[in-house]
Amino acid sequence: MKTAAVSFESNAAGPFRSLCATMVDSMRGLGYWRAAEKDEKNGFPFTAALEWQEAAECFGWISLVSNRCWEEWERIMHLPRQLSTPIGESEVVLQLAVAALDAGAMANAAESLVPFAAAA
């Protein structure tokens, strides 16, 4: 029973930290929301779209609010939200780049090991 009490005490700060982080993200998202509305009102639609995207990412844990932010982003940009990431950051491109780097590193490592194998 004593070990359970110790493990409970060591994990007690975890939910509190995640609650604080969630509150901070919510406040940050609310700030982006207000800035997006203000920028759109002042005639800066692309800046507003960027801020709607940031707000959606901050509110990611509240799906209804995040969805609303993404809908505003889609309305301004006239694009689906799947195209919200930069082209160079798509997962397929990153996987191909990592595979190419790994293949090059393997070839260079093999070439550097061959002289040592011949000398032995």
Q: What confidence tier does 3 reach under pLDDT thresholds 50, 70, 90?
A: very low
- The Cα–Cα gap between 44 and 40 comes to 5
Query: pLDDT tens across 82-120, in order?
Result: 887 766 555 655 566 667 666 666 566 555 555 555 555
* CB contact at 8 A, 20 and 9: no
Question: Where along the chain do its domains lie?
Answer: 2-84, 86-120
Q: What is the pLDDT of residue 33?
A: 97
Spell out the alpha helix ranges (H) of the chain.
2-11, 13-41, 45-58, 63-77, 91-119
Q: 2: exposed, middle or buried (C-beta count within 10 Å: 0-12, 13-18, 19+)?
A: exposed
Query: pLDDT tens across 67-76, in order?
Result: 999 999 999 9
This prediction has a pTM of: 0.60
